[in-house]
Structure 1
Amino acid sequence: MILPGATLGMLGGGQLGRLFVLAAREAGYRVLVVDPDADSPAGRLADEHICADYDDADALTRLARECAAVTTEFENIPADALRTLARDVAVHPSAEAVATTQDRLREKSFLRGLGLPTAPFAAIHAAADLTEAAGTVGFPAILKRASFGYDGKGQVRVAGPKELAAAFASLGGVTCVLERRIDLVREVSIVLARGERGNTASYPLADNIHRGGILALSSVPAQIDEALSAKAVEMAVRIVEGLDYCGVLAVEFFVARDGALLVNEIAPRPHNSGHFTVDACVSSQFEQQLRALCGLPLGETRLLSPVAMVNLLGDRWQSGAPRWERLYSTPGARLHLYGKREARPGRKMGHFCVLADTVEEAVRRARALDEALSTPA
């Protein structure tokens, strides 16, 4: 076990890294953050911020020399950098797991290899593949860049085959995945952790609502039946075992109109939809990331209260600061801001959670507060 007082490394300095730093420092660990942004949210809270690219040789040498273990904030860390580090220091998640999940085509092929259901998909490497892919997948569909896409970026909705060529060109003609759009009842996600010895611990499923491809609201517990919930847990465990994963991972699912449960995406890290765990669970997803990284027993994931979480995007600041006094007047509300200095449309600036006696009441209060924050006096 790696115990308090040790130094840990974090590749990535955004809000997920910041929340990990808070959990680690609260538990008595030192944290070195590597991020090329001189004003990164995690870097400003870390014991030291190494302002460098993720594959910078000097930065990796320092991490290997000074850290007892290294983890990642997001999936687009170069896998080769993780392989380099792993020669001298424990790295979780592994380079192989990250490489699988940072490319949609590899990820979907991995899921297919496990026998897990996904939306119908086809690979498009060049314009010559468009006709065959269209015939395989059908329409309506979504064309997605195979790599470097998140929060709805790098995606184009395609209603029919005549729109496909233009959509492919708009994404730069790079390798893409064409995916059939599913007739959905809801979208749900699960966050779970797996330790070095293969033990797992999962949090309750979250119901998710997106706007413009970005998560807007999560509510827990998800309003799905026990059998479907148990199936989601079983599928998520198969994924972490298939990746031989160590750390915290999230799986997003589609619940189709016909009752089918389909895997949408894997995130090899704590997840936006898991932020509720900080306020509403015995152990947060960031404490769990710390425990898995350090070889400690996994924490208890029990839900203490029904909860709703709302993302705060930079759009809200365009007409002035949100009306925070209204948040503090709302029973059960908890605010988390990420320390980002510039509020831009679509940029995640923070989130708030509302705890209540029932999930219905938590959602009602959260939606009312969501509107009130931006309503003039």
Structure 2
Amino acid sequence: MKSDKVDMLAPGSVIGILGGGQLGRMSALAAARLGYKVHIFSPEADGPAAQVAWKNTVAAYDDLAALEAFAKSVDVVTFEFENIPAAAAEILAKQKPTRPSPRVLHITQERLREKRFLEKIGVPVTAFREVTTAADLPAAVADIGTPSILKSASFGYDGKGQVRIEAGMDLADAWKKMGGSIAILEGFVDFDCEISVIVARNTNGDVALFEPARNSHKHHILDTSTVPAGITNKVAHAAEAIARNIATEIDLVGLLAVEMFVTKAGGVLVNELAPRPHNSGHWSMDGAITSQFEQHIRAICGLELGNPARHSDTVMTNLIGDEVETWPQLLADPDVKLHLYGKAEARPGRKMGHWNRIKPKSA
């Protein structure tokens, strides 16, 4: 039974978003369609989100005076990426509802905390060891084995801060390439495929799940996400149950992307969490009844969650760097929906936009 509605924000309220990238941009557009105003807080003056927002604050995330003024101007706070100082979220949470909570941010922005939390709640994860110094790495490698993956414990994304460890390689050099002060060594998973499940949970504790997407990467950056994912019902149900459990146990209000490996034996292991809209959920903008961005806004504003069901088969493809120059050809295809992020300069490895190819739902 659903609990009574709480903290429902009326249209016209102001949503504060920490971060000015493309996820903030698409969240702001979704918020506007529901009648909300969006105030962006970012060190970047003309980022993708600022171009479509009601108001922008350009300041560092540790600027106390700017954070205080920002909090006074909004009704709820959220964030579009997790690599922001947890202290900033704590300051804001003392003044306005901050969703997801600073606790969720604290857990998910550091891989060791994240893995230990998942272990504690009984979620299957890859084998891992904490590595606090370069001198500790040989023992960890001996324990975990090779191949294995050395990752910076914090502030990593799109493959940054990661080094694959092979037998006989120079471990001191691997530590330098990793570049972090504390690391996690994870066992290598010879997986069948990578999937992700995006789960939403609102202030009433209601949960809605987007179906799993199959993800493929190029140069450690997501290339395509495909729904349906081409996995068995058993695997899909297991992945969805894991995502639901995590959302409940972490007391999520907002959106959480759960990245997973599907093993060749049909098992599911959680790789990473992202407490925000996620690149692998962009398919939902054109292939689902409710997009992940609208769902995020609904969740943090205390609204009823929308229907996340897929109405079309969809393949999402990222536009990285100069690939954005293919936009005329993409627009010439009637089955393609193009989303560009308003970034002025195309650089190698930079996400400039994405496109969704949709066709009638097959199953």
Judged with a 3 Å threshold, the aligned counterparts in structure 2 of structure 1 residues 304 and 76 are, in CA distance, closer, same or farther, namely same
Conserved in 2, the CA contact under 8 Å of 1:10 and 1:70? yes
Q: Which stretch of structure 1 is more off in the superposition, 275-284 or 161-170? A: 161-170
> How much has 1:341 moved relative to structure 2?
0.2
Counterpart CA distance in 2 for 1:8 and 1:174 is: 35
CA distance in structure 1 between the aligned counterparts of 2:51 and 2:360, rounded to whole angstroms: 36
- 1: distance between equivalents of 2:251 and 2:309? 24
**What is the CA distance between 1:358 and its match in structure 2?**
5.6
2:353 is equivalent to residue 346 of structure 1: no
CA contact (8 A) 1:312 1:349 kept: yes
CA contact (8 A) 1:220 1:306 kept: yes
Query: Who is 1:297 aligned against?
Result: 304
Give 3-state SS (helix, strand or coil) of 1:136's partner: helix
Tell whether the 8 Å contact from 1:143 to 1:155 is kept in structure 2 after alignment.
yes
Once the two structures are TM-superposed, the CA of residue 173 in structure 1 deviates from its matched residue by: 5.5
Report the TM-score, using the length of structure 1 for normalisation.
0.92
In structure 1, C-alpha distance between the alignment counterparts of 2:218 and 2:203, rounded to whole Å = 36
Q: 1:213 aligns with which of 195, 220, 232?
A: 220
CA apart distance, 1:328: 2.5
Separation in 2, partners of 1:299, 1:213: 32
Structure 2 residue runs without a partner (length 5+): 1-7
Q: What is the aligned partner in structure 1 of residue 181 from structure 2?
A: 174
Report the counterpart of residue 280 of structure 1 in structure 2: 287
Q: CA RMSD in A?
A: 1.4
Cα deviation for residue 161 of structure 1 reads: 5.0
- In structure 2, relative to structure 1, the CA distance for the partners of 1:169 and 1:325 (3 Å cut) is closer
1:241-252 aligned at under 5 Å gives the runs: 241-252=248-259
SS of alignment partner, residue 182 of structure 1: coil
Q: Which amino acid aligns with 1:152?
A: G
Cα shift at 1:203: 0.5
Quote the offset at 1:198 in angstroms.
1.5
Q: 1:117, CA displacement in angstroms?
A: 1.3
- Residue pair 1:315, 1:346 contacting (<8 A) in 2 also: no
Which residue of structure 1 lines up, in the alignment, with residue 140 of structure 2?
Answer: 133
CA contact (8 A) 1:189 1:253 kept: yes
- In 2: Cα distance, 1:172 partner to 1:275 partner: 30
Q: Distance in 2 between matches of 1:316 and 1:231?
A: 36
Per-residue CA deviation, residues 58-80 of structure 1 (Å, 9 max, x unaligned), is 22112221211010000112111
Instruction: Tell me which amino acid in the other structure corresponds to 2:120.
Output: G
Hey, what does 2:3 align to over in structure 1? Answer: none
Partners of 1:334 and 1:173 lie apart in 2 by 39
* Amino acid corresponding to residue 127 of structure 2 in structure 1: P
Please state whether the residue corresponding to 2:50 is helix, strand or coil: coil
Residue from 48, 66, 87 that aligns with 1:59: 66
Which residue of 313, 320, 343 corresponds with 1:306? 313
**1:112 aligns to 2:115 (yes or no):** no
Compute the TM-score of the two structures, normalised by the length of structure 2.
0.95
Instruction: Please give the secondary structure, in 1, of the residue aligned with 2:105.
Output: helix
Change (3 A) 1:173 1:76: closer
Residue pair 2:57, 2:70 contacting (<8 A) in 1 also: no
1:93 corresponds, among 88, 100, 112, to 100
- Is the contact between residue 235 and residue 267 of structure 2 (CA under 8 Å) also seen in structure 1? no
| 1:77-88 equivalent positions in 2, closer than 5 A | 77-88=84-95
Paired residue for 2:41? 34
Residues 186, 208 of structure 1: 8 Å contact kept: yes
Matched residue SS, 1:65 = helix
2:56 to 18, 35, 49: 49
> Partner letter of residue 9 of structure 2?
I
Shift of 1:258: 2.2
Name 2:360's counterpart in structure 1: 357
1:51 to partner: Cα distance: 0.4
Please report how far the alpha carbon of residue 359 of structure 1 lies from its aligned counterpart in structure 2 after TM superposition.
6.7
- What is the alpha-carbon distance in structure 1 between the residues aligned to residue 168 and residue 134 of structure 2? 13
Counterpart Cα distance in 2 of 1:191 and 1:172:
30
Task: Give yes or no for contact 2:152–2:180 (8 Å, CA) kept in 1.
Answer: no
Shift of 1:284: 0.7
Structure 1 stretches of 4+ with a deviation exceeding 6 A read none
CA distance in 2, matches of 1:204, 1:343: 32
Q: 1:219 and 1:160 mapped to 2: Cα distance?
A: 34
Is contact 1:154-1:171 (8 Å) kept?
Answer: yes
Aligned position for 1:335: 338
Matches within 5 A, 1:142-153: 142-153=149-160
Distance 2:288 2:62 in 1: 35
Determine whether 1:192 maps to 2:195: no
Cα contact 2:161–2:177 (8 A) shared by 1: no
Q: CA deviation at 1:154?
A: 0.7
Identity, % of aligned positions? 47
1:17-51 per-residue CA deviation (whole Å, 9 max, x = no partner) reads 00011111122111110000112110121111100
> Residue type of the partner of 1:279?
D
User: Does residue 73 in structure 1 map to residue 80 in structure 2?
Assistant: yes
- How far apart are residue 186 of structure 1 and its match? 0.4
In structure 2, how many angstroms separate the alpha carbons of the residues matched to 1:359 and 1:13? 37
